[in-house]
Each structure stands twice: as C-alpha cells, then as structure tokens.
Amino acid sequence: MLIAHIFLGLFCAQNLSEYVQVYEGNMPLVLSAPHDGHEKPKSMVDRKEGVKVRDSGVRTIALQLADQIELRCGRRPYVVTTTLHRIKCDMNREIGEAAQGDKDAEAVWQVYHDALAAASEAAQQYGDGQILFLDIHGHGHPNDWIEVGHAAPLDGSEWISGETSVGAYLTAQGFKAVPSPDIPDPGDEKYFNGGYITRHYRSDAVRTIQFELSGPMRKEDKRHDTARRIADALSEFIPTHFVMPKFELEVNEVTKQNEYKSFYKIFNRAVDVFGLTVFADKKATEAKLIHQAWVMYQYLDNDQNGFVD
C-alpha cells in the first residue's frame, strides 16, 4: 500500500516530497532502495563530485521482495524508495556530499531520511522491539555475488559469517555471498561494507545491513527470481534472530466494497491466513470459521515462527 508522504507527515515546498515513496508495513523489517531513481529535474543542479550512476533494477527488486515476504508470512516490510536520480542527490551520503549545496536536493534528502527514521521507529512496535533494516544497492564489481555490508570488521563472528548469518542463508538459496561461511571475506576483491545509511541508522534496536547486488542479479529477466530467493533466505534469517508478531486471527465481514467483494453473494465472513483466505457462509458458525483458520495457520507454520514452513 502506497502511503506517500501523508503517513509520515512529510511536506516540503514545490511538492519535492513526491520524489520519495513510502510503503507502510506491519513487521520488524525496513527496506531502503536509495539509488534507483530516474528523474532528473532541471531545477536541481547536477552533483559534481562522487558517484552519480544509478543502481538499475534495485527499486523493482525491493518492491518485489516486499511482495515475496508477504507471501511467506502474511506481513509486509516498510519500504522507502526514491525516484530522484543519484546525479541530483545521493541519499546514502551525509547531506553536504549528498546535495552539494542544492537546496531542493537537500529538501528531498531530508524527506527521505525522515521517512527512514519514521519507518524504523514504527517497525519497532512489532515483535520485541528489535528490527532488521536492509539498505539495498547494486555493485558493478566483476564478482557475481551479494556483498553483505555490516559496516563492521569481518571478524568471523556468528552474525557476520557464521552458520546463522544472512550470508549463510543467502548461500543456501544459491547465491554467492560475502561474508558467509563459504566466503568469509572478499580477499583482494572489491567489496562494499556498508555506507552512510547502514552506519547512521544502526542502534541497539535497529540491526542494519547493506545488500549490494551484482549486475546479473539485477537484469530485468532475473529480478523476480532474485527477489524470490532473497525472500526465502530472509524467511530463515529473520525468525532466527528477530521476533515476529504473534499471529492475530481477525474475522472480517465480506461486503460489496472491500477486497472480498467478488465473493459477496456466496460468503459473509472471512479470515486471512498468510495471504490465504478462509471463507464462511451464513450457515457456518463463527466458532467453526475460527477453528478452521487456526487449523490452516498451524499447518502452514508448524513451528510458529511467523513464516510459512
């Protein structure tokens, strides 16, 4: 669901906030995709210093990743993206380097980071207050691997490259990932270990990680598969290190106006379980509907970790 700037109460002159898109979530996960914008308004001057190329495909992958995660747990991450090209503003730098003096670019930068801060805070209401924050980018290095940037020394610890590290779960899905148990460090190869966003938003409550995806992973015909496999990896990683909200069973009325309208003439109540819907007609008691929904939930999530088994 696109909630634009209203959800976060973000406003600035000349509708500059329209360059930032915010999608509401309901789980302890935030996704950021700051470098796949395509718009180059003439009212903003081009940046003269720093990297100015676009991470093509990353915004699409981030949005598809959110969809794939919802299929696996019935909940959506918060997502913050921008359509403003990096040549105008680099959201993954401090404001001086990011906007290089252009006031409009500074305003968009502020909107983007206000959105990240608000999304991070909102996500903490789910689970036990600890959240995962993924900042997603694309690298142009020759290695076809995911560079997992922890913004920390690659010390071989469990979180960095152990059997329950995100690199391990990415490897299990067929990716090459660094660091991971298979590739604990990049050696002499080029590697990005996390940028401004990864460092700035880290706290006791927010575990930040930067994903740098290779060019082949971001090709148009590979984006869906990339998002699907990353979602499978996160479906193992998140319940290992974070607490998902407890399943909440809610009986909804089937009406002509809501998402169940196609079934209005047949059913009058519904319960959603991991994106699947259990319907009931007037003859079925609410107790029976609730029982059937719980049976489905326990079947799909036998270990009750918040993700479909």
Rounded to whole angstroms, the Cα distance separating 236 from 188 reads 30
Calculate what percentage of the chain has a pLDDT beyond 90: 90
* 247-306 pLDDT tens trace: 888 999 999 999 999 999 999 999 999 888 999 999 999 999 999 999 999 999 999 999
Across the chain, mean pLDDT equals 93
Query: Domain residue spans in the chain?
Result: 13-241, 252-300
Mean pLDDT of the region 31-55: 97
pLDDT score of 307: 94
Sign of the dihedral defined by the CA atoms of residues 248, 252, 257, 258, in that order: positive
* 165-186 pLDDT tens trace: 999 999 999 999 999 999 999 9
Is pLDDT at 107 greater than 90 in this prediction? Answer: yes
Is pLDDT at 58 greater than 90 in this prediction? Answer: yes
The CATH homologous superfamily to which domain 13-241 belongs is Zn-dependent exopeptidases (3.40.630.40)
pLDDT score of 10: 45
pLDDT score of 17: 84
Is pLDDT at 7 greater than 50 in this prediction? Answer: no
* 63-85 pLDDT tens trace: 999 999 999 999 999 999 999 99
Q: What is the pTM of this model?
A: 0.91
pLDDT score of 15: 77
pLDDT score of 247: 86
